[in-house]
Amino acid sequence: MRRAEMRLATTPGRPIADSAVVEVDGVLDAVGAYDLCRSIDEAVGAQVREVVLDLTHVVAVDVDGLAALERCARRLQADGVVLACTVCSMPVRRALRV
């Protein structure tokens, strides 16, 4: 299954609109990268101040997925949005070490 799904989540002491959690499930390849970027665009459009990437359920990452993570991080930084990453699956950790 390839999808990046966004949901707004509360952060203690902040209104719900300040944070967005983007859950990536399955393979982070060209298709997953497109979905991830679309979800990040949606979060930026909602004017959140923080995006949390949940990469717990990613089973594989390829070069397109890594490039998308980098593009999204740069986009968020340029827009002044904080990017945080929760627990990463082993495939994500391996890919990030390369």
Task: List pLDDT tens digits, range 74-93.
Answer: 999 999 999 998 878 888 88
Residue 63 pLDDT level (bands cut at 50, 70, 90): very high
> What mean pLDDT is predicted for residues 34-47?
89
Q: Please give the average per-residue pLDDT across 25-50, as a whole number.
A: 89
Q: Which runs of consecutive H residues, i.e. helices, occur in the chain?
A: 30-45, 63-78, 90-97
Query: What pLDDT, on a 0 to 100 scale, did the predictor assign at position 77?
Result: 94
Local confidence band at 6 (pLDDT 50, 70, 90 cut-offs): very low
